[in-house]
Structure 1
Amino acid sequence: MSTHTSPATPIRSLTVLPAHREDVELHTADGLTLVGELARPLGADGGPATPAATLVTLHPLPTHGGYMDSHVYRKAAWRLPALADLAVLRFNTRGTSSPRGTSDGAFDGGVGEQFDVHAAIEFAEFHDLPRRWLVGWSFGTELALMHGRDPSIEGAILLSPPLHRATDADLDAWAAFGKPLVVLVPEHDDYLRPDEARRRFARVPQAEVIAVDGAKHLWVGEAAVRRVLDEVVAHVLPGHDSLPTTWDGPSTTAESPAALAVGEEDA
């Protein structure tokens, strides 16, 4: 891993900006231990600073390659503590493995994962991480819709929702819940495209469906990632400027992963 200190270094795919990062464990009500990482803004003393808000991330389908390092979330954790003063909590749902380790249990199709979602929200509460938002991607959007209606969260942001497991009853429950729901739908999504998404989410009055031209389900490419991160920050921190594409402080460059951990199909 190399370090850069030159002014206005471009932020590239593998750029890692300063943050306080620590491995964490989540403990579920049904007795499992889940592995994860918490990235927080870096304080002047080198310890963690209080973030402006918190992202609790829910990864894509683990049976098709999704995990806490799926690339949008990895880049969120690498960039957003420094660029937007956000905390980013990532974790592997039950039975999911990543370089961080393997969470206890076994994949349960979104049913037992309700305890995983609750454990992540409770972790954020217990550690006084403020203004908590759920960010779900693909399978993670199903978990957010089915299990994320906790009064301590401020809202949810959905990336590429397939609406396979989440039903109209879950959408109706979110409508009654009343918290904001931001839905980013790629123009060329494999499962739910913008027009159908607008129809399905119309039953949630507070849902904002945003069609993203040119994007695909996996948000591959730096332009797609930047669009996602800009939308996340704009909704979690209204009035925040668009994220910069350069950084004039110290940074590191991560090793290129053996495989692009994108989170992969949600068939």
Structure 2
Amino acid sequence: MTGTDSIEIRAGVELPANREEIRLHTADGLTLVGELAMPLERAPVATLVTLHPLPTAGGFMDSHILRKAAARLPALADLAVLRFNTRGTASPRGTSDGAFGEGVAEREDVAAAMAFVRQRGLPNPWLVGWSFGTELALKYGLEHDIAGAILLSPPLHRTTDDELRRWNSSSVPVVALIPELDDYLRPDAAAERFAVLPRVRRIDVEGGRHLWVGESQTRRVLEEIVLAVNPAASPLPTSWSGPQSGTPAGAAAEG
């Protein structure tokens, strides 16, 4: 393969980006491990701060939708993608300090990620939560200067109605992708729970499942993220004919 041959964008494809291993430091003294992926030749137009699914059920920074967002969207949509393991969570990148905090102590993890965004001057940060990560976004997102929030398969187990109502007083957009066949919150139930937040843009995804398994569901999720964050980059291409390599992750940086 030459440097300009076209390739189909599928599960294992990692498109060019500047990838940097990072460390985040929480106010309660923990170090969290993560990665920042940036567009190769341009400044990002926006930043995805990703919050992974439940670590006690196998969620981590490499959960597949988040990993594929980092693999594709810096090149395809000029987005910076920040992924990290919340406290006590392990992945091939490493293990973050601490222990699972039931969504309470993780308030400090979200704050550490947003502090890193500010320190680096990363533009227009959107929280992208998946499952448990949506609870963190809804509980703590309004404590920070964010451009918006995207909720993938929100279970709304830990988020109270009062916490949902708080978002009505903000102009920050909230987009929720509700899988038709979700294990926890399907469209009818989501309509009831989100009734207290009428301005949420709820997208019911026909045939969708909680884990968004398969390339068609992956593409649907990434497309909806880009439509919300950088619609000029939509629709996303299904093949790539640009350069085939970027900058691999180097020495870990502090944040």
Q: Give TM class, smaller chain.
A: over 0.9
> How many angstroms apart in 1 are the aligned matches of 2:170 and 2:108?
19
> How many angstroms apart in 1 are the aligned matches of 2:2 and 2:196?
49
Look up the equivalent residue of 1:40 and give its one-letter code. Answer: M
Q: What does residue 20 of structure 1 align with? A: 18
Q: What does residue 39 of structure 1 align with? A: 37
> How many angstroms apart in 1 are the aligned matches of 2:86 and 2:225?
22
Q: Deviations over 1:92-128 (max 9, x none)?
A: 0000000000001000100000000011111111100
Q: What does residue 237 of structure 2 align with? A: 244
1:82-161 alignment to 2 at 5 Å? 82-161=75-154
1:172 to 2:165 alignment: yes
Higher mean C-alpha displacement, 217-226 vs 173-182? 173-182
> How many angstroms apart in 1 are the aligned matches of 2:98 and 2:147?
29
1:64 to 2:57 alignment: yes
> How many angstroms apart in 2 are the aligned matches of 1:206 and 1:88?
26
If the length of structure 1 is used for normalisation, what is the TM-score? Answer: 0.89
Q: CA deviation at 1:237?
A: 1.3
> How many angstroms apart in 2 are the aligned matches of 1:67 and 1:4?
34
- Contact 2:40-2:75 at 8 Å conserved across structures: yes
1:206 to 2:169 alignment: no
Say if 1:138 and 1:4 are closer, same or farther in 2 by CA, change over 3 A.
farther
1:256-267 alignment to 2 at 5 Å? none
SS of the residue corresponding to residue 178 of structure 2 reads: strand
Unaligned residue ranges in structure 2 (runs of 5+): 246-255
Identity of aligned residues (%): 62
Look up the equivalent residue of 2:17 and give its one-letter code. Answer: A
Unaligned residue ranges in structure 1 (runs of 5+): 44-48, 253-267
1:198-237 alignment to 2 at 5 Å? 198-237=191-230
Report the aligned-residue RMSD: 1.3
Q: Deviations over 1:212-267 (max 9, x none)?
A: 11110000000000000000000011343210000002336xxxxxxxxxxxxxxx
- Contact 2:148-2:174 at 8 Å conserved across structures: yes
Q: What does residue 5 of structure 1 align with? A: 3
Aligned mate of 1:187, from 163, 180, 185: 180
Q: How many residues align?
A: 245
Q: CA deviation at 1:6?
A: 4.8
1:77 to 2:73 alignment: no
If the length of structure 2 is used for normalisation, what is the TM-score? Answer: 0.93
> How many angstroms apart in 2 are the aligned matches of 1:150 and 1:4?
47
Look up the equivalent residue of 1:103 and give its one-letter code. Answer: S
Q: CA deviation at 1:151?
A: 4.3
> How many angstroms apart in 2 are the aligned matches of 1:235 and 1:137?
16
- Contact 1:178-1:206 at 8 Å conserved across structures: no
Q: Deviations over 1:177-222 (max 9, x none)?
A: 3311100010000000012112211211320000011110000000
Say if 1:91 and 1:122 are closer, same or farther in 2 by CA, change over 3 A.
same
- Contact 1:15-1:251 at 8 Å conserved across structures: no
4+ long deviations beyond 6 Å? none
SS of the residue corresponding to residue 143 of structure 2 reads: coil
